[in-house]
Amino acid sequence: MNLKGKKVLVAGGGKSGISSIKLLMSGGKAVPVLYDGNVNFLLPDELSGIVDTRLGEFKKEFLAGMDLLVISPGIPIDSDIVLTAQAMNIPVWGEIELAYYFEKGRVVAITGTNGKTTTTALTGEIMKAAFPEVFVVGNIGIPYTEEVTKTTDKSVTVAEISSFQLESTHEFAPKITAILNITPDHLNRHKTMENYIAVKESITKNQNPEDVCILNYEDVVLREFGTSLDCRVMYFSSETVLRDGLFYEDGALYHSVNGERTLICKTDDMKIIGTHNYENAMAAAAAGIAMGIDIATIGKVICDFVAIEHRIEFVKEVNGVLYYNDSKGTNPDSSIKAVNSMTRPTFLIAGGSEKNSDFTDFAKTFKGHLKKLVLIGVTRFKIADAAKEQGFNEIIFAESLKEAVEFCHDNAVSGDAVLLSPACASFDMFKNYEERGRIFKEYVKQL
C-alpha cells in the first residue's frame, strides 16, 4: 500500500498512537485521524488544529472513508473497531507493521513471556559495539514508529515485541528473531494458551532460509517449533550441553559448533544475576553471533552490562537489609525467576491486578526462600490461598505499597532482603509497572 494521500484512522491516543500519527504525516504523507474512547481526550499542542479526532464510544461511521486502520497495542484484534474495519475490507495494521513499512535496515526482533526487555537492551549494546547505527525500540519504551525514519541500509534495529503487537503484523520480516520462552500470560486477552503460543510464534512467519530464529532449548514448545522452521535455528540452554548452540555449564557461557566450544564469558564476571539472566545473555549473544560479531566483543559487552530499571534492580541497603525492585515481574513465571535469584531470606511484596493467572507454581517457590509474604492489590487473597495450599502461612496483607514497605522495614533484620516482584499487572493501583517501581524506590529511599 502506498500511504501517500491515504486517510488513516489511528486508534488509541497514547504514546504509540501519537507517534504513529506523526510518522504517517511526516514519512507517509498520509492524512491521519485520531480515534480515542475518552471523550475528553486532547491532542498534543503540536497536533491540535491539524489532526481531526473521533472521540467517545466507537461508531461505525468513524471508519467511513478510511483506507487503513492503525491500532495501538492496547486494542485487541477482536474489538468492535477491528472487527468493523475487517467487515468493511479496511486493512488493519499495528504500530509495528506501520513502522516496518518505513524500515530501511536490518531488524532483530525479540519476544517471549519473560526476559524481553533485558535481552533487547543487552542485544542493543552488543550491536552498538559493532555497528555505527543502532536503534533499540518497541515495547522497551521508545516506539518503533518514533525511530524508524532514521534507519538506513547500514542500520540495525533491535525491537522488543509483545504478543499484543504481534497480533497485527502482516509483512513484518526480521532478519533475526528470538523467542525466549512461553509461559501462561495475558490469557485475559488471548483466551487460550494455544492462541498465545501461536501469536508468539508468528514473529517468524515471514523469515526465509537465510534468516535466523533463536529459541530456548529448554522450552519444549519452542524446541519442537524449531523443527518446523525454514530459517536457520540457533538454540540456547541453561541445562543442556549443546553440540550446536549456546549453553551454560559450570559457571560459564559457551558457544558450540559441531561440538567445538568457545567461551563467551564467566558468569561470575557478569553484573546481572540469576539463571534467567544467563538465558537472556545467551539469546543476546546468539543474535550477535548471527550478525557476525566476534565472541570476544560479545563477552565483554555481557560482562559490562548492568541490570535495567525495574528488573531485579538493587535500590538501597538499609540497616543491612537489601531492597530490590522487580516491578517488571508482571506474571508468576517472571516473579518465580526473581525469587529464585535471591540468596538471602526474603520479604516478598506481591499482588496486583488480575490477569487470570495460576499462582500455584509461584507459591511453590516460597518455602526455603521467603520469611514473609506481604500481599497487596486485587489478587492478594488469590495468592494467599495458593501459598496456604503449598503450606506457606507467613502471610501479611497490606492496604497499600507504602504500608507493605513500612512493614518490611519494621520487621526485616540485617542479612535479609526485601523484593518487590508482584507477579501481577499494576493497573489496580498504578498507571503501569514503571510507576509502581518508581514509587517503590521512592518509599525505600525515604527509609
Q: For the chain, what is the largest distance between any 2 Cα atoms, rounded to a whole number of angstroms? A: 66
| Residue-wise pLDDT tens digits, 311-368 | 888 898 999 999 999 999 999 989 998 998 887 999 999 999 988 899 999 999 999 8
Higher-scoring residue by pLDDT: 320, 428: 320
- Mean pLDDT computed over 372-393: 97
- Mean pLDDT computed over 32-50: 92
Chain-wide mean pLDDT for the chain?
A: 93
For 404, what's the count of Cα atoms within 13 Å in the CB-facing half-sphere?
30
Query: Measured in whole angstroms, how far is the alpha carbon of residue 41 from the centre of its chain?
Result: 27
Q: CATH number for 313-445: choose from 2.60.40.10, 3.40.50.970, 3.90.190.20, 3.40.190.10.
A: 3.90.190.20
Asked if pLDDT for residue 212 goes beyond 90, the answer is: yes
Residue 19 to residue 200: CA distance in whole angstroms: 24
Higher-scoring residue by pLDDT: 162, 28: 162
* CA-CA-CA-CA torsion sign (30, 35, 39, 43): negative
Residue 434 to residue 308: CA distance in whole angstroms: 12
- For residue 128, the tally of other CB atoms under 10 A from its CB is 16
Residue 313 to residue 433: CA distance in whole angstroms: 13
Residue 202 to residue 288: CA distance in whole angstroms: 22
Angle between helices 332-341 and 275-290 (to 10 degrees): 110
C-alpha cell at 42: 486532547
246: amino acid identity, one letter = L
Asked if pLDDT for residue 166 goes beyond 70, the answer is: yes
| Residue-wise pLDDT tens digits, 113-147 | 888 888 999 999 999 999 999 999 986 668 899 99
Q: Whole-model pTM?
A: 0.74
292: amino acid identity, one letter = G
**pLDDT above 70 as % of the chain:** 97
Residue 207: pLDDT band with limits 50, 70, 90: very high
Asked if pLDDT for residue 5 goes beyond 60, the answer is: yes
Q: Where are the beta strands (DSSP E) in 312-410?
A: 313-318, 321-325, 346-350, 370-375, 395-397
- CATH number for the domain formed by residue range(s) 97-304: 3.40.1190.10
Which sequence spans correspond to the domains of the chain? 7-90, 97-304, 313-445
CB neighbour burial string for 18-34, b if at least 16 within 10 angstroms, e if fewer:
bbbbbbbbebbebbbbb
Higher-scoring residue by pLDDT: 103, 185: 103
CA-based end-to-end distance of the chain: 57
Residue 191: pLDDT band with limits 50, 70, 90: low
Strands 313-318 and 321-325 turn out to be antiparallel
User: 260: burial class by Cβ within 10 Å (0-12, 13-18, 19+)?
Assistant: exposed
Backbone angles phi, psi at 19, to 5 degrees: -65, -40
Grouping H, G, I as helix, E, B as strand and the rest as coil, residue 70 is: strand
Higher-scoring residue by pLDDT: 307, 254: 254
CATH T-level assignment (fold) for domain 7-90: Rossmann fold (3.40.50)
- Mean pLDDT computed over 172-191: 77
Contacts of 275 (CB under 8 A, 6+ apart): 238, 248, 337, 340, 341
Residue 234: C-alpha distances to residues 114, 178, 242, 245, 301 (Å): 19, 9, 10, 6, 20
Asked if pLDDT for residue 193 goes beyond 90, the answer is: no
Residue 197: pLDDT band with limits 50, 70, 90: confident
Residue 188: pLDDT band with limits 50, 70, 90: low
Q: Where are the beta strands (DSSP E) in 287-331?
A: 313-318, 321-325
